[in-house]
Structure 1
Amino acid sequence: MKLVLSQEQQELRAAVRDFLRTASPLPKVREGYDPQVYARLNGELGLSGLIVPEEYGGAGAGMSELAVALEETGAALLPGPFLATAFAALALGQVPDKELQTGIAEGRIAATLDHTELSYTGGTASGTAAQVLSGGDADVLVAPARDGGALVMVAVELTGPGVTRTALETLDLTRGQARIVLDGAPARVLGPAPETGVFDRLCVALAAEQLGVMRAALDAIVAYAKIRVAFGRYIGSYQGVKHKLADMHCKLEQAESIVRYAAWAADESPAELPEAAALAQVYVGRACFEVARDHLLLHGGIGYTWEHDAHLFYKRAKADEVLLGPPRIHRARLGQLLEL
């Protein structure tokens, strides 16, 4: 088991962090999804093709490398379809498709994945996906569909006929969702729907983003505690603040170990992945929200204002916590896997 980043993974982290610091700083995040930033992210760093196999033009990297990248995009609160495309790429790892994976690797296609079961008949798909991550920004929807009695995975061009997309009002202002209605939309079958493995990898990928949100929130409040003066003292010198920051740091350290282990399991020990993935969402999801919440509270009155960035982290943390289902679902699944 490896819980420490390799030299190559550290270099990847530094490259992504430096790029996002200049191309997508927090003030720019408030403006929402910028296709030019997304194009540069893929053109200069090739992140969209990170886990796409080399035969389709990708880097052929593993979950551990994807987790490193997602940690940095999470810390930067990167808007747009990067996480959604990563989800779709993980699913396509189980149902390979040259056209889609090549397009993703080249940065030409932004994809999204949804669990809603559609109906597929004669080359068309119908159904309603009520809440699709980055559904307004994606070019292709990957989803399960019932083809007669068989459950298959299909790809639907979201810019084609028979597709209606409605933007939803979301808690997280930095990343959109959409309601997608398909009425005989052209679609093609990718292959049989995978029975296992995809959801576990989605849990690990999301936990990696949550780890980045936690780290950035903690860094922000620690920096603030060193400069904010109250009653003649820096607030970081007060015992109540110090203890809270220490608790937040402990949560971050535990979360990092859990994410690194889960990513390693996805790459090297598939038998351990289901428990590791469930644990990642049971612990990291809640811990991320608690750290973001306390980071907002410790900022005091300024943290509650719309002008401050604290609420952006708070909302991303809460949206991520329930993105793959409420925590109780993951707790129940972990308990079942451990036969508790």
Structure 2
Amino acid sequence: MNFDFSDDQKFLREEARKFLSAQCTTKEVREVLDDEAMSHHAGVWQKIVEMGWLGAAIPEEYGGLGLGMLEMCVIAEELGRALAPVPFGSSAFFFAEAVKLAGSEEQKKALLPGVSDGSIIGTIAASEGPGAVDAAHVNAAYKDGALSGIKVPVTDGDIATHAVVLVKEGSGHSLVIVDLNGDGVERSSLGTIEPTRSHAEIKFNAAPAKRLGDAGQGLALYDQILDRAAVLLAFEQLGGASVCLDMATEYAKERHAFGRPIGGNQAIKHKLADMYVKNEVARSNAYYGAWALSTDAAELPEAAAAARVAASEAYWFASKENIQTHGGMGFTWEVDCHLYYRRAKLLAVQAGGPAVWKEKLVSALERKNAA
């Protein structure tokens, strides 16, 4: 079985990398960091919208490019390499996939074209504070077409136009879609370790909402959405981890101490080797996840969990060791190492931390072995 990307997909990767290398450098990332009023880089976002990437995995009948999930994986990795300070993941990985998975024909026609052309920025709101997202920790309630409750933190919640929200409905749980610019919605920005990906607290007070999918199926649908988004997040993490390894390797070659490159020291060699091994393990798992995602394979839950665990570990380790390899310079504001460390820490907890995904992986394997 060949898990590699096709020539067309590799060409897309090359073109995406060229585009982002020119349009989304760490200069643009730092502009968002330096300006507290900026929640994202509007200029970069508009250029990405114009490239049509948001619609890569959206069928043509709903205004997308109709390419597929493998192409979205390729784009996700390049966005991760560039540290793109835009709400791409919230809109394309979570919101669009939720609508594609559970939306009615009317909802797909109303929402997906807007995601593709950037007029709709979507997000998903499930968490209500510390703790797992499960039946015991969901208190936001939906009744008679109105939603009340609090969701926090919501990734890109301060700039999103629409949200898929996990709610209590009667004795069960459902998903609903809310227009965040409508009545009964109050938003406030939150500070995080990674300001280039904004977060918000959203309060709903009898906000008009429409159910997404069947009543009582919210938790099951949410798990399916997470499995799909997890693979795409893994590729985004893989992209960042790859850059960290490249940065550390180049610095080890260029930095001299006692008349020789520091890369000649055994301790540095071991750091780089360990980074490479973890990155390759993450890549293998991400490719397995991409296959399962693109074919709707029954193995998707375990493949997504494995990809997520491996990618989170690889990115955190690579970003940490990149700083260590740079020595004292690695801790300074002027050097870009901290930009990747921030993003690594943030992505590791988005949609559930490593412990959550390890538990998902164990559960998926147990179900498989019991079958």
State TM-score, norm by structure 2: 0.87
Does the alignment pair 1:36 with 2:47?
A: no
Give yes or no for contact 1:48–1:105 (8 Å, CA) kept in 2: yes
Indicate the RMSD between aligned Cα atoms, in angstroms.
1.7
The farther-off stretch of 22-31 and 185-194 is 185-194
Change (3 A) 1:203 1:115: same
Give yes or no for contact 1:63–1:264 (8 Å, CA) kept in 2: no
Aligned residue for 1:226, secondary structure, equals helix
Kindly state the Cα deviation for residue 204 of structure 1 after the two structures are TM-superposed: 0.8
Kindly state the Cα deviation for residue 336 of structure 1 after the two structures are TM-superposed: 2.1
Kindly state the Cα deviation for residue 322 of structure 1 after the two structures are TM-superposed: 1.4
Summarize the alignment of residues 164-175 of structure 1 with structure 2, pairs less than 5 Å apart.
164-175=186-197
Kindly state the Cα deviation for residue 133 of structure 1 after the two structures are TM-superposed: 0.6
Give yes or no for contact 2:238–2:314 (8 Å, CA) kept in 1: no
Give yes or no for contact 2:121–2:159 (8 Å, CA) kept in 1: yes
Does the alignment pair 1:77 with 2:77?
A: no
Does the alignment pair 1:131 with 2:153?
A: yes
Distance in 1 between residues matched to 2:324 and 2:237, nearest whole Å: 19
> 2:37 corresponds to which residue?
none
Match of 2:96 among 84, 89, 94: 89
> 1:113 corresponds to which residue?
124
> 2:115 corresponds to which residue?
104
Change (3 A) 1:164 1:19: same
Give yes or no for contact 1:49–1:107 (8 Å, CA) kept in 2: no
Give yes or no for contact 2:278–2:310 (8 Å, CA) kept in 1: no
For residues 65-124 of structure 1, give each alpha carbon's deviation from its aligned partner in whole angstroms, at most 9, with x where no partner exists: 111111111111111210111211111121232111110012211110122453223332
Distance in 1 between residues matched to 2:8 and 2:149, nearest whole Å: 44
Kindly state the Cα deviation for residue 3 of structure 1 after the two structures are TM-superposed: 2.1
Give yes or no for contact 1:241–1:298 (8 Å, CA) kept in 2: yes
The one-letter amino acid of 1:31's match is E
Give yes or no for contact 2:189–2:198 (8 Å, CA) kept in 1: yes
The one-letter amino acid of 2:207's match is A
The one-letter amino acid of 1:178's match is A
For residues 3-58 of structure 1, give each alpha carbon's deviation from its aligned partner in whole angstroms, at most 9, with x where no partner exists: 21111111111121111111111011012212232121011x21111111211011
Summarize the alignment of residues 190-209 of structure 1 with structure 2, pairs less than 5 Å apart.
190-192=212-214, 193=217, 195-196=220-221, 197-209=224-236
Distance in 2 between residues matched to 1:221 and 1:269, nearest whole Å: 37
Distance in 2 between residues matched to 1:2 and 1:164, nearest whole Å: 49
Give yes or no for contact 1:84–1:112 (8 Å, CA) kept in 2: yes
Aligned residue for 1:15, secondary structure, equals helix
Summarize the alignment of residues 182-197 of structure 1 with structure 2, pairs less than 5 Å apart.
182-192=204-214, 193=217, 195-196=220-221, 197=224
> 1:21 corresponds to which residue?
21
Summarize the alignment of residues 144-293 of structure 1 with structure 2, pairs less than 5 Å apart.
144-149=166-171, 151-192=173-214, 193=217, 195-196=220-221, 197-293=224-320
The farther-off stretch of 151-160 and 223-232 is 151-160
The farther-off stretch of 250-259 and 118-127 is 118-127
Distance in 1 between residues matched to 2:205 and 2:352, nearest whole Å: 27
Distance in 1 between residues matched to 2:66 and 2:173, nearest whole Å: 28
Give yes or no for contact 1:2–1:264 (8 Å, CA) kept in 2: no
Percent of matched pairs sharing the same residue? 41
Kindly state the Cα deviation for residue 269 of structure 1 after the two structures are TM-superposed: 4.7
Change (3 A) 1:313 1:35: same
Change (3 A) 1:332 1:189: closer
Kindly state the Cα deviation for residue 184 of structure 1 after the two structures are TM-superposed: 1.6
Aligned residue for 1:156, secondary structure, equals strand
Kindly state the Cα deviation for residue 186 of structure 1 after the two structures are TM-superposed: 2.4
Kindly state the Cα deviation for residue 149 of structure 1 after the two structures are TM-superposed: 4.8
Kindly state the Cα deviation for residue 61 of structure 1 after the two structures are TM-superposed: 2.8
The one-letter amino acid of 2:353's match is P
Residue segments in structure 2 that go unaligned for 5+ positions in a row: 33-39, 128-137
> 2:11 corresponds to which residue?
11
How many corresponding residue pairs? 339
Distance in 1 between residues matched to 2:319 and 2:341, nearest whole Å: 5
Kindly state the Cα deviation for residue 163 of structure 1 after the two structures are TM-superposed: 1.3
State TM-score, norm by structure 1: 0.95
